[in-house]
Amino acid sequence: MSAEYTSPLAAAIAPDLLERFLRYVRFDTQSQVDRQQSPSTPGQLELGRTLADELQELGSGDAALDEHGYVYATLPGNVAGAPVVGLIAHLDVSPEASDHDVQPLVHRDYDGGVIALPHGGQRLDPELMPQLAAKRGHDLVSSSGNTALGADDKSGAAAIMATVKYLSEHPQQPRCTLRIAFTPDEEIGEGASLFDLERFAARCAYTVDGSKLGELQDESFTAVEVRIGIEGVNVHPGQASGRMVSALVLAAKLVAALPEDRLTPATTAGREGFIHPIALSGAPDRAELRVIVRDFEEDLLQQHVELLRATAERTVGTDPRAKLRFDVHRQYRNMRDYVAADPLLIATAEQAFAAEGVAPVREPIRGGTDGSLLSEKGLPTPNIFTGGYEYHSVREWASLQDMAAAAAVLVHLAEAWTKVGDAQ
């Protein structure tokens, strides 16, 4: 017997949500690093057009896909004086795992054991996945094992669309005016870069881009990317003795010189930041190392950057013939201060969680969302859970019960904001 839903509302929303989710994950929307246009890949446009068309069918007369791949829509409210509130999810999935030809599998009434996926020898093992161990009786969705599922963030997109459908079919349900947006290229840090704040015109917004049941997040990392270029001296290997300076070897030594016992994603947790090399390419004459640096505090982030800089200068400086380039690119800031300036954002969300019987999980995001940059730009945007797990991997899975709970929370959120005057 399948696990119970968090409420009759969640149970009522679940069938439509599942149907949408299974359709959306089949769109190949993997974003591409170092994009040349927005969106970076054509599949995002295809999904965006589909969502805009569906929003039109659900009563959003202004639903449209813009020239940059963003979908904007409005679901009018039915309570005078209520503020305009935004709901946002992203169209793309991470470049870290294939999104081509996703074949979603539904595992009804999960029995608590190992789920062997049909391709790639992949297994969903509750001993290795604590979140999975807690989902006995849930209806789970996974990929077939050779692609990501795309729950990040198509579970959020499906939850928003199922919410819009429910509200459009229940006009008596109190709701504020909802602005809907679906953004491209969030996974490569560009989701908010071309976001039209004037067109969106919301008092505040919520990204539906979290993970485990109950997440309500108002803190994210502050983030930079460092690109380190090393120029060496290439010589035919037969005549290289005493003459060659391999940029690739120096780059490898630089990575090896970084501290292993701290400041890496594998050895940090909670509120600890990290230095994370994500790509190394090159040849003896020149090499490039890309590193992401993260922390919740600006001063600590700068300390990490300076540690990386000092390590690079010391390593490359072992040979005066080598040249070093060290470029720092700011990506996003911690949303904390911007969200904290408007206490109603979290207080109203907590009311919605309580109405659904879901206890808020107040943990900082060890990453970023579109809300990080949108908050900095003037649209304070906390983050809400989706019910997806093991993101950015072929082991990604989602719980239908948890996804439905997220959609039900959004219905309650639209009502909770009707109790907040627009002037507040």
Assess contact for 251 and 230: CB atoms under 8 A.
Answer: yes
Pick the CATH number of 8-219+334-419 from 3.30.420.40, 3.20.10.10, 3.40.630.10, 3.40.50.300: 3.40.630.10
Residue by residue, pLDDT tens for the chain (424 residues) are: 567 999 999 999 999 999 999 999 999 999 998 889 999 999 999 999 999 999 999 999 999 999 999 999 999 999 999 999 999 999 999 999 998 999 999 999 999 999 999 998 999 999 999 999 999 999 999 999 999 999 999 999 999 999 999 999 999 999 999 999 999 999 998 999 999 999 999 999 999 999 999 999 999 999 999 999 999 999 989 988 999 999 999 999 999 999 887 778 989 999 999 999 999 999 999 999 999 999 999 999 999 999 999 999 999 999 999 999 999 999 999 999 899 999 999 999 999 999 999 999 999 999 999 999 999 999 999 999 999 999 999 999 999 999 999 999 999 999 999 998 654 5
- Confidence at residue 264, expressed as pLDDT on a 0 to 100 scale: 87
- Could you tell me the two tokens for 124? 């969903």
Task: Write down the catalytic residue from 54, 152, 185, 186.
Answer: 186
Contact between residue 338 and residue 374 where contact means Cβ atoms under 8 Å apart:
no
Instruction: Say if CB 291 and CB 255 are below 8 A apart.
Output: no
Rg from Cα positions in the chain: 23
Residues of the chain with CATH 3.40.630.10: 8-219+334-419
Euclidean distance between CA atoms 412 and 387, whole angstroms? 17
> Strand 123-124 vs strand 397-399: parallel, antiparallel, or unpaired?
unpaired
Q: How far is CA 303 from CA 96, 293, 294, 407, in A?
A: 28, 10, 11, 40
Report the alpha-carbon distance of residue 3 to residue 137 in Å, rounded.
5
CA–CA separation, 417 vs 424, rounded Å? 11
Active-site residue, selected from the candidate residues 28, 92, 99, 390: 92
pTM for this predicted structure: 0.93
pLDDT at 75: 97
CATH of domain 222-332: 3.30.70.360
What does the pLDDT read at residue 240?
Answer: 85
Is 402 an active-site residue?
Answer: no
SS3 content of the chain, % helix, strand, coil (to 5): 35, 20, 45
For the chain, residues classed under CATH 3.30.70.360 are: 222-332
Q: Is 92 a catalytic residue?
A: yes
What per-residue confidence (pLDDT) applies to 34? Answer: 86
